[in-house]
Amino acid sequence: MLASTSRYRAFPALRPGDPVTVVAPASPFDRASFEAGLEIIAGRYRVQYDPGLLTRHRYLAGSDERRLAELATALADTRARAVFCARGGYGMLRLLPGLEGIAIGAKPVIGFSDITPLHQLLQRQGHVSVHGPVLTQLSRLDAPAHARLFELLESQTPAEDLTGAETYVEGVAEGPLLGGNLAVLTRLLGTPFLAPLEGAVLLLEDVGERPYQLDRMWTHLELAGVFRQVRGIVLGEFIGCEEKGAEYSSAQVLRELAAATGLPCAAGFPIGHGAQNLAVPLGTRVRLDAGSRRLSFLESAAG
């Protein structure tokens, strides 16, 4: 079982001034957050987007047809050097069958949460992508979070290590970093849209799920055999996941679930729905030293 360095291809490093595209494949958002995020990206790159992304249909940023056409065009476009997702929420799953067979240029997708299935699509096709802030979140993050994102997109040296808050299971694991949002990732189980997780270091984070729901999703991964495939577990933030009035915490529940896998696992990395959401490259080789709560990046995302 190889944690192959070459299984995933780095994307060509971005340079300031490069053209990039913004897409909205999932839920709608308010214009103010969008424009605030746009300003941050536009301070660095030349941003293009279809004004149709401000459309709203129930909990979706426009019809499936609109979102699919926008995303397929952005992924295939050979001129734009990166695809920034405006927001997560819900909606990416609905586009998956329509994206099969489309050509994906060598460029990163940036996003998280509901964007997880899009990352998985890129990893299925052998691409590295960037688990990081969505555009509408950018203005609520601080300058170091912005700097880390730009560095990840532009630098040919590996990202700086991240430190977690707690060791759940000691041990060291090395492999490509894969995964993302727990709720959304588990919605790919039993479908052809899940990237092979064999040999991976699995990243999981979530928001607004009660402890028993975290347990249910984690148990789904377990019953599907995922914890027999992966080598280690990196837990990002689990925000708003407490049960009111309960004498137990989501951390206690996650710690016990992690212990049952026997896999190296550290928790509380500043990844996901928290105040930082530091960008990390999916598909690049990482080393988790759970005992010292350290996640090291062994490859650059950009080549």
Binding site for a copy of itself (CB under 8 A): 27, 58-59, 89-90, 93-94, 96-97, 186-194, 211-213, 215-217, 219-220, 223-225, 243, 246-248, 253
In whole angstroms, the minimum distance from the beta carbon of 97 to a copy of itself comes to: 7
Instruction: Give catalytic status of residue 174 as yes or no.
Output: no
Q: Which H or E run contains 205?
A: strand 201-207
Instruction: Tell the smallest beta-carbon distance from residue 10 to a copy of itself (Å).
Output: 29
Q: How far is the CA of 99 from the CAs of 2, 113, 121, 259, 271, in angstroms?
A: 29, 19, 9, 37, 27
3-state secondary structure of 48: strand
Q: Which tokens is 259 given? A: 């212990």
Does 205 participate in catalysis according to the annotation? yes
Question: CB of 241: closest distance to a copy of itself in angstroms?
Answer: 13
From 205, 209, 237, 299, the catalytic residue? 205
Return d(Cα 301, Cα 303) in angstroms, integer: 7
Alpha-carbon span 289 to 163, nearest angstrom: 10
Q: Which of 27, 33, 70, 113 is catalytic?
A: 113
Helical pair 64-76 and 92-99, crossing angle rounded to 10 deg = 60
Residues in the chain: 303
Of 194 and 266, the one with the shorter C-beta distance to a copy of itself is 194
DSSP string across 106-168: S--EEE-GGGHHHHHHHHHTTB-EEE---GGGGGGS-HHHHHHHHHHHH-SSPPPPEE-SEEE
User: Least distance (Å) from a copy of itself to the CB of residue 86?
Assistant: 17
* Nearest approach, Cβ of residue 210 and a copy of itself (Å): 8
- Per the residue annotation, which of 127, 129, 273, 299 is the catalytic one? 273
Q: What angle do CA 199, 13, 181 make, to 5 degrees?
A: 40
Which is closer to a copy of itself, CB of 86 or CB of 295? 86
Catalytic status, residue 273: yes
CB closer to a copy of itself, 91 vs 199? 91
Nearer to a copy of itself, 21 or 136 (CB): 136
If the CB atoms of residues 28 and 281 are measured against a copy of itself, the closer one turns out to be: 28
Catalytic residue numbers, as ranges: 113, 205, 273
